[in-house]
Amino acid sequence: MTDRTSPLDRFTSFEGVTVVVIGDVMLDAYLQGHVSRISPEAPVPVVKHARDRFTAGGAANVALNAVALGASARLIGVVGDDQAADQLRAIAEQAGVSCRLLGLKGGETTTKTRVLAGAHQVVRIDREGSNALSAEDEAALIALFEQALDQADAVIVSDYAKGCLTDAVLAAVFDRAREVGVPVFVDPKRPDFSAYRGAAYIKPNRSELAGATGRRCDDDAAVGEAARQVVDQTGANLLVTRSEQGMAFYGVDGEAILLETEAAEVFDVSGAGDTVMAAFALGVASGLPVVRAMRLANTAASIVVSKAGTAVVSAAELRTVLNHQDQRDDHRDGLILSRADARAVRGAWRDQGLSVGFTNGCFDLLHPGHVALLREAASHCDRLIVGLNSDASVRRLKGETRPIQSEGARAEVMAAIRHVDAVVLFEEDTPYELIAALEPDVLVKGADYQEHQIVGADLVRAKGGIIIRVELRAGHSTTGLVDRSRTPSA
């Protein structure tokens, strides 16, 4: 057997990828100092000013993150007629961003000023003009977008509800991008996500998802139900960021991927969502499977929250951390794949001349019999994919009291087994369609099934593959475990 490492390409940078970022730009200002006394005028600290620092925020921070990761970024937004606009433009252009900012005569650039005493934020002061766009302004902004769209690989809409993304502008963005076949990624702020119909991907956080659906999003099941509501409403794939619980992807094809957060010391969460948006969009636009793009975004977020203030993550930083993770966990992260991603990974394995095996089951309560089956299956192939019945599928097959563990928990446990190289959830009662999509070289099932009873055996045989029937280990079954747990001991 060959070395069982990740089939996904190592990250280097997103050089060669061009992204258009359109949305609400802002200037982040930091007034830094220290506190040594309380004011005699009121019970508030006196901050002795030491220095100022300015960074790009909002859509501008998304663009800076994209450039830091090696991509080319074209930034479109609205600024005022003030010094803050000049500062913001200078910061972005110095970082390598191509700025196409519409200046509003007499307008005010959104500026967030944070007063810091050491590492602690004392107060934030926001300066925001109304900056209402006229029909002429909208037309000018749309023209800037159309020019920037040439040869672009992705569009990121960064909505901070500051007035740039009017209904007319959003509609034009989706229409023009669709005409040239460029996917649109949205970081939403509006409470009504139907405004983003036309996007390929929408990235709300848990709070934004709850607000858009009117549902509580306190656990995985609730988040999943709310996400499906949005997917049905918008026709877009959904990437839900869940703070310390990581992120979850819900595809238009019904697939779901859960990814835990990377452990990190949190210093400042300012702009972390911008970093996730940039990394994920660039990953997908560069052709990576969704789960790989999620892992990149997840890791990038773990880096940026350890930095002070609004910050970016460089390609070198991300590469270093990812390499460390690969060495640490023997490539076990990110192996829970959607059907489409699994097919892409299977293609990569095929190109490397590797044989691919497949087995499936509910795997509700993992026991030694399961482990023996997986070990034997892995011995007959270079890579092993496990098809896992979704919760709904298990209920139809086993009854309303099953599964004991959620599909997310079962997938996570399965992905941690060293014999397993990928896990794919399927909603159907049988894995027939999944097997047809993956075209495995080896199909493995327990010997309690005759070959003619094994779902997908005909497909595998037709492609020249082999069927392996594994003798089961006596005395081990999930049903038996459940029954024993319900029987009082003597």
Distance CA 229, CA 73 (A): 32
Residue 225, both tokens: 């139900």
Are 293 and 279 in contact by the 8 Å Cβ rule? The answer is: yes
Please identify which of the residues 159, 274, 341, 421 carries the catalytic annotation.
274
Q: What is the distance of C-alpha 32 from the center of its chain?
A: 33
Residue 241 host element (H or E): strand 237-241
User: Tokens 């010391």, residue?
Assistant: 265
Are 43 and 287 in contact by the 8 Å Cβ rule? The answer is: no
User: Tokens 């038996």, residue?
Assistant: 480
By C-alpha distance, which of 140, 156, 114 is closest to 25?
156
* Partners of 386 in the β-ladder: 359, 423
No. of helices (H) and no. of strands (E), the chain: 16, 19
Cis peptide before 45 (omega within 30 of 0): no
User: Tokens 């089939």, residue?
Assistant: 7
Catalytic (active site) residue 274: yes
396 phi and psi angles, rounded to 5 deg: -65, -35
Residue 309 host element (H or E): none
Distance CA 108, CA 26 (A): 10
Please check if 208 is assigned to a binding site: yes
Residue 475, both tokens: 């005395």
Distance CA 424, CA 256 (A): 9
Question: Is 338 strand, coil or helix?
Answer: coil
Please check if 205 is assigned to a binding site: yes
Question: Is 462 strand, coil or helix?
Answer: helix
Give the CA distances from residue 22 to residues 136, 160, 260, 445, in Å, rounded to whole numbers and listed in that order. Answer: 18, 11, 29, 51
Are 476 and 367 in contact by the 8 Å Cβ rule? The answer is: yes
Question: Is 124 strand, coil or helix?
Answer: strand
Q: Exposed, middle or buried, 38 (CB in 10 Å: 0-12/13-18/19+)?
A: exposed
Distance CA 400, CA 124 (A): 51
Distance CA 465, CA 365 (A): 30
Give the CA distances from residue 267 to residues 121, 200, 303, 308, in Å, rounded to whole numbers and listed in that order. Answer: 11, 32, 10, 6
351 phi and psi angles, rounded to 5 deg: -60, -25
- Rounded to 10°, the helix 290-304/339-351 angle is 100
Binding site, annotated residues for ATP: 205-208
- Residues with catalytic roles: 274
Binding site, annotated residues: 205-208
